[in-house]
């Protein structure tokens, strides 16, 4: 069994992978085989449950049971051996460090969806029907294919800061900036900044990365939605001689409103759970931590499992209403 | 319904025009744009496009510059003073040493392939049951599976970690495969169910009249017709798994298991300013999803339009 779990060579890893694939396929194969036996006996009811078995089992083991454990654990102390009621939640809403975490999370959720959606919508309209539309869209969309870690490295380099000499001695060379943003500031005659360190503004420089990623998502979905507006409607408005802004405000926007809401809420959910960007760029230092990152720090570095669990549950509680609203919007848009 | 934007965004820019588009009149967007006086609209579009491309371009250029140059001058100086080398890629892939990224590249592949195929296999069965079988409690169970999408990963990580330790499979590929499969199921079942419902009921009925059982229908009818749907979900699950950091970081924990993202993350932590390694490393990890995305974008569009916006 050792090679099944602890492969160190490339061929060993691929062998393990093949065996895993076979194992997954075998489970499905056995279920289909048993199902066909049951079916031949003319009993249809159990077949459905056989088909559902692996999904239900995996969901209970992987989601339902762990979520229950975490909720219980959030009521216990750091070591997980003493029941302390809601103390962990009190800590989240009273301790100075945790309040900064909450403030940052609110910033992320309020700023990112609106800016990303606005940029995406603007761009979708600007390039709609233009020559080279698909190429223009690909440029904005490509960040979506990049991992958050990769995106964070890309932007960390844009923000890179080199020690700047305030008062140059005669004959001394000024240190060259290698980050684009600081170089632009120098070109404009300003002093370079430590974008990722100066709180609370550093939060906005992290948020910019998320906007950079999500604008492409917003653009693609909104563009499809705009193209789906019946031509008769726009034609009629055009014959009435309405201006560009009126057209946008009274024809385009109302037609795509449900989609806009879905895009906003989807990005908001992503922002609540944002972890990779904060972890990679600052590790949550310099007052940039958010709930999802603080959860990781408390659970796996600081050894406070109770507080970590409470943060995870808080995330859960914050996500639910947005998703419910999102689903309702979807239903409403379908019901029209 | 789309609770994981990073995974759900599986579209591509500019789907090849549908027949309706070919003969259409101008769309609302075009109308709005025309009135925005075209030169300004074009200018604004170009500014946005440049803003969005420049950061990636800068790091790409940097990855091909000699280490000494990267440390002493900005990447934009290559236009006046060009000097390129492949040394950074050679170092970061570690063809000479054992510590390079190539090992993690293999890990990422070994993680991603089963983590994409397994949820499709499992979810296709369940989706079929929900779409075309009748049993008691069907609606409640379907809503329950759908609702499980609201559970954030974070809520499950620590109990799952304890489970892996108890099972003795911690720090192997198994926890990562299983975790990705489990977390993908609610969305996979939901999307595949939607696709399956679109298959005309008469087809299923005709097969039933001919005496075909569910198992036969599943294989002969569903699997071939679902190819585009399976491709669409497969691609987005691929992006999600390949780009994941949280699960890799929590359940990996050793060099023979860690995916590329974790290796890169460790590189930023320990050598925050080793830009010659970071820039090349970032592009080693970026290249695969970008190639997959560009070559298969047709399927992204279908997945998005059929599964996400319309629901």
Instruction: Give the CATH number of the domain where residue B233 resides.
Output: 1.10.3720.10
Radius of gyration of chain A (CA): 26
Q: Are residues A247 and A117 located together in one domain of the fold?
A: yes
Q: Are residues A123 and A44 located together in one domain of the fold?
A: no
pLDDT at position A246 is 84
* Number of domains, chain A: 2
Give me chain A's average pLDDT, please. 88
Q: Are residues B55 and B107 located together in one domain of the fold?
A: no
Q: What is the C-alpha to C-alpha distance for residues B311 and B8, in angstroms, rounded to an integer?
A: 12
Distance of CA A188 to the CA centre of its chain: 34
pLDDT at position B109 is 94
Q: Are residues B246 and B298 located together in one domain of the fold?
A: yes
**C-alpha pair distances (Å), A168 with each of A16, A186, B225:** 61, 14, 71
* Number of domains, chain B: 2
Q: Are residues A30 and A124 located together in one domain of the fold?
A: no
Q: Is residue B261 in some structural domain?
A: yes
Q: Are residues A282 and A136 located together in one domain of the fold?
A: yes
Question: Of B71, B93, B115, which residue sits at a domain end?
Answer: B93
pLDDT at position B126 is 93
CA-based nearest residue in chain B for residue A319: B150
CA-based nearest residue in chain A for residue B242: A147
Radius of gyration of chain B (CA): 24
Q: Are B159 and A71 in contact (CB under 8 A)?
A: no
Q: Are residues B73 and B178 located together in one domain of the fold?
A: no
Q: Are residues B147 and B71 located together in one domain of the fold?
A: no
Q: Is residue A185 in some structural domain?
A: no
Which DSSP state fits A7? -
Flag whether residue A173 sits within 8 Å of chain B, measured between CB atoms.
Answer: no
Q: Are residues B38 and B182 located together in one domain of the fold?
A: no
CA-based nearest residue in chain A for residue B286: A146
Distance from CA of B119 to the nearest CA of A (A): 9
**How many alpha carbons lie under 13 Å from residue A194 in its C-beta half-sphere?**
9
Instruction: Give the CATH number of the domain where residue A137 resides.
Output: 1.10.3720.10
- The tens digit of pLDDT for each residue in A43-74 reads 667 888 999 999 999 999 999 999 999 999 99
Residue among B8, B156, B215 whose CB faces A66 most closely: B156
How confident is the model over A170-174, as a mean pLDDT? Answer: 78
Which DSSP state fits B36? T
Q: Is residue A178 in some structural domain?
A: no
Whether residue A202 has pLDDT greater than 50: yes
Q: Are residues A130 and A19 located together in one domain of the fold?
A: no
pLDDT at position B195 is 83
Which pLDDT band holds residue A138 (cuts at 50, 70, 90)? confident
Q: Are residues A121 and A69 located together in one domain of the fold?
A: no
Q: Are residues A26 and A150 located together in one domain of the fold?
A: no
Distance from CA of A244 to the nearest CA of B (A): 5
Q: What is the C-alpha to C-alpha distance for residues A23 and A19, in angstroms, rounded to an integer?
A: 6
Distance of CA B110 to the CA centre of its chain: 16
Q: Are B220 and B40 in contact (CB under 8 A)?
A: no
For residue A273, which residues of chain B lie inside 8 Å, CB to CB?
A: 152-154
Distance from CA of A295 to the nearest CA of B (A): 8
Verify whether the Cβ–Cβ distance A55 to B126 is below 8 Å: yes
Q: Is residue B21 in some structural domain?
A: no
Percentage with pLDDT > 90 across chain A: 49
Cis amide leading into A147 (omega within 30): no
pLDDT at position B33 is 55
Whether residue B14 has pLDDT greater than 60: no
Q: What is the C-alpha to C-alpha distance for residues B250 and B229, in angstroms, rounded to an integer?
A: 31
Q: Are residues A138 and A258 located together in one domain of the fold?
A: yes
Q: Are A89 and A307 in contact (CB under 8 A)?
A: no
How confident is the model over A153-177, as a mean pLDDT? Answer: 85
Q: Which tokens belong to B143? A: 């809503």
Question: Which of A182 and A175 is assigned the larger pLDDT?
Answer: A182
Q: Are residues B79 and B155 located together in one domain of the fold?
A: no
| Range(s) of the domain holding residue B170 | 102-309
Which DSSP state fits B17? P
Question: Of B46, B70, B93, which residue sits at a domain end?
Answer: B93
Q: Are residues B35 and B112 located together in one domain of the fold?
A: no
Residue among A47, A148, A295 whose CB faces B214 most closely: A47
| Range(s) of the domain holding residue A326 | 89-161+196-335
Q: Are residues B209 and B277 located together in one domain of the fold?
A: yes
Q: Is residue B213 in some structural domain?
A: yes
Q: Are residues A98 and A47 located together in one domain of the fold?
A: no
For residue A252, which residues of chain B lie inside 8 Å, CB to CB?
A: 28-29, 32
For residue A66, which residues of chain B lie inside 8 Å, CB to CB?
A: 155-160, 163
Q: Are residues A208 and A296 located together in one domain of the fold?
A: yes
Q: Are residues B179 and B224 located together in one domain of the fold?
A: yes
pLDDT at position A108 is 96
Backbone angles phi and psi of B301, in degrees to 5: -60, -45
Which pLDDT band holds residue B220 (cuts at 50, 70, 90)? confident
- Complex ipTM > 0.85: yes
- The tens digit of pLDDT for each residue in B249-305 reads 999 888 889 999 999 998 887 655 788 889 999 999 999 998 888 888 777 665 555
Q: Is residue B238 in some structural domain?
A: yes
How confident is the model over B79-97, as a mean pLDDT? Answer: 82
Q: Are residues B43 and B143 located together in one domain of the fold?
A: no
Give me chain B's average pLDDT, please. 81
Q: Is residue A169 in some structural domain?
A: no
- The tens digit of pLDDT for each residue in B222-251 reads 878 888 788 888 888 898 999 999 999 999
Verify whether the Cβ–Cβ distance A229 to B27 is below 8 Å: yes
Verify whether the Cβ–Cβ distance A221 to B215 is below 8 Å: no
CA-based nearest residue in chain A for residue B276: A157
Whether residue B210 has pLDDT greater than 90: no
Which of A111, A71, A126, A54 shows the shortest CA–CA distance to A312? A71
Which of A224, A47, A259, A8 shows the shortest CA–CA distance to A137? A224
Q: Are residues B65 and B159 located together in one domain of the fold?
A: no
Q: Are residues A255 and A327 located together in one domain of the fold?
A: yes
pLDDT at position B30 is 62
Q: Quick count: other Cβ atoms within 10 Å of Cβ A250?
A: 12
Q: Which tokens belong to A194? A: 């430590």
Q: Are A126 and B44 in contact (CB under 8 A)?
A: yes
- The tens digit of pLDDT for each residue in A39-50 reads 888 766 788 899
Q: Is residue A303 in some structural domain?
A: yes
Interface of A with B in 135-164 (CB under 8 A): 135-150, 152-158, 160
Q: What is the C-alpha to C-alpha distance for residues A328 and A323, in angstroms, rounded to an integer?
A: 8
Q: Are B297 and B16 in contact (CB under 8 A)?
A: no
Q: Which pTM was predicted?
A: 0.88
Q: Is residue B11 in some structural domain?
A: no
pLDDT at position B21 is 41
Distance from CA of B89 to the nearest CA of A (A): 16
Residues facing A76 on adjacent strands:
A83
Q: Is residue B12 in some structural domain?
A: no
pLDDT at position B311 is 28
Q: Are B239 and A253 in contact (CB under 8 A)?
A: no
How confident is the model over A260-282, as a mean pLDDT? Answer: 90
Q: What is the per-residue burial (b if ≥16 Cβ within 10 Å, else e) of A79-98?
A: eeeeeeeebbbebbeeeeeb
Question: Of B36, B60, B93, which residue sits at a domain end?
Answer: B93
Contacts of B127 (CB under 8 A, 6+ apart): B188, B189, B190, B191, B192, B193, B195, B196
Whether residue A130 has pLDDT greater than 50: yes
pLDDT at position A169 is 77
Q: Are B13 and B52 in contact (CB under 8 A)?
A: no
Q: Are residues A202 and A55 located together in one domain of the fold?
A: no
Whether residue A220 has pLDDT greater than 90: no
Backbone angles phi and psi of A41, in degrees to 5: -75, 0
Which of helix, strand or coil describes residue A76?
strand
Whether residue A28 has pLDDT greater than 80: yes
Q: Quick count: other Cβ atoms within 10 Å of Cβ A134?
A: 14
Question: Which of B51 and A250 is assigned the larger pLDDT?
Answer: B51
Report the C-alpha dihedral over residues A18, A20, A26, A29, rounded to 10 degrees. Answer: -80
CB-neighbour burial class of residue A23 (10 A; exposed 0-12, middle 13-18, buried 19+): middle
How confident is the model over A249-254, as a mean pLDDT? Answer: 87
């Amino acid at each position: 069994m050792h090679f099944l779990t602890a492969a160190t060579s490339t061929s060993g890893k691929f062998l393990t992978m093949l065996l895993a694939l076979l194992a997954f396929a075998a489970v499905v194969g056995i279920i289909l085989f048993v199902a066909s036996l049951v079916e031949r006996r003319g009993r249809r009811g159990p077949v459905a449950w056989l088909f559902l078995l692996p999904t239900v089992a995996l969901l209970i083991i992987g989601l339902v049971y762990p979520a229950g454990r975490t909720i219980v654990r959030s009521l216990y102390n750091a070591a997980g051996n003493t029941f302390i009621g809601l103390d962990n939640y009190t800590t989240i809403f009273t301790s100075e460090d945790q309040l900064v975490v909450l403030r940052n999370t609110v910033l992320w959720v309020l700023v990112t969806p609106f800016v990303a959606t606005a940029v995406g919508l603007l761009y979708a309209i600007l390039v709609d029907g233009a020559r080279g539309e698909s190429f223009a869209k690909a440029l904005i969309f490509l960040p979506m294919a990049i991992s958050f870690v990769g995106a964070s490295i890309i932007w960390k380099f844009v923000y890179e800061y080199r020690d700047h000499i305030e008062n140059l001695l005669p004959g001394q060379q000024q240190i060259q900036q290698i980050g684009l943003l600081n170089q632009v500031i120098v070109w404009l005659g300003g002093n370079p900044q430590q974008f990722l360190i100066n709180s609370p503004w550093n939060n906005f420089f992290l948020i910019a990365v998320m906007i950079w990623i999500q604008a492409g998502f917003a653009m693609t979905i909104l563009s499809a939605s705009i193209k789906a507006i019946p031509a008769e409607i726009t034609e009629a408005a055009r014959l009435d001689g309405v201006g560009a802004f009126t057209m946008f405000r009274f024809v385009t926007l109302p037609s795509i409103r449900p989609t806009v809401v879905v895009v906003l809420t989807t990005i908001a959910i992503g922002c609540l759970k944002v972890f990779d960007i904060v972890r990679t760029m600052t590790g949550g230092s310099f007052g940039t931590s958010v709930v999802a990152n603080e959860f990781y720090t408390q659970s796996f570095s600081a050894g406070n499992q109770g507080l970590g669990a409470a943060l995870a549950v808080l995330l859960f509680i914050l996500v639910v209403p947005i998703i419910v609203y999102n689903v309702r919007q979807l239903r409403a848009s379908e019901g029209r | 319904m789309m609770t994981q934007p990073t995974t759900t965004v599986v579209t591509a820019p500019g789907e090849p025009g549908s027949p309706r588009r070919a003969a259409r009149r101008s769309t609302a967007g075009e109308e709005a744009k025309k009135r925005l006086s075209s030169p300004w609209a074009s200018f604004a579009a170009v500014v946005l496009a440049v803003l969005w491309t420049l950061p990636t371009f800068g790091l790409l250029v940097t990855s091909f510059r000699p280490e000494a140059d990267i440390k002493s001058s900005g990447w934009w100086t290559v236009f006046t003073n060009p000097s390129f080398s492949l040394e950074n890629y050679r170092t970061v892939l570690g063809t000479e040493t054992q510590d390079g990224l190539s090992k993690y590249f293999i890990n990422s592949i070994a993680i991603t392939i089963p983590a994409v195929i397994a949820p499709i296999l499992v979810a296709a069965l369940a989706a079929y049951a929900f779409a075309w079988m009748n049993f008691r409690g069907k609606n409640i169970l379907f809503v329950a599976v759908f609702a499980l999408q609201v559970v954030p990963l974070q809520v499950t990580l620590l109990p799952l970690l304890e489970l892996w330790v108890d099972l003795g499979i911690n720090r192997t590929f198994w926890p990562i495969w299983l975790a990705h499969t489990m977390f993908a199921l609610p969305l996979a079942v939901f999307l595949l169910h939607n696709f399956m419902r679109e298959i005309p009921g008469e087809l299923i009925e005709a097969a039933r009249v001919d005496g075909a059982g569910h198992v036969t229908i599943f294989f002969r009818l569903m699997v071939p017709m679902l190819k585009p749907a399976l491709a669409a979900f497969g691609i987005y699950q691929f992006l999600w798994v390949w780009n994941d950091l949280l699960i890799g970081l929590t359940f990996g924990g050793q060099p023979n298991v860690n995916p590329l993202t974790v290796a890169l993350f460790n590189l930023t932590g320990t050598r925050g300013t080793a830009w010659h390694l970071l820039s090349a490393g970032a592009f080693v990890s970026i290249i695969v999803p970008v190639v997959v995305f560009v070559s298969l974008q047709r399927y992204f569009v279908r997945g998005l339009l059929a599964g996400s916006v319309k629901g």
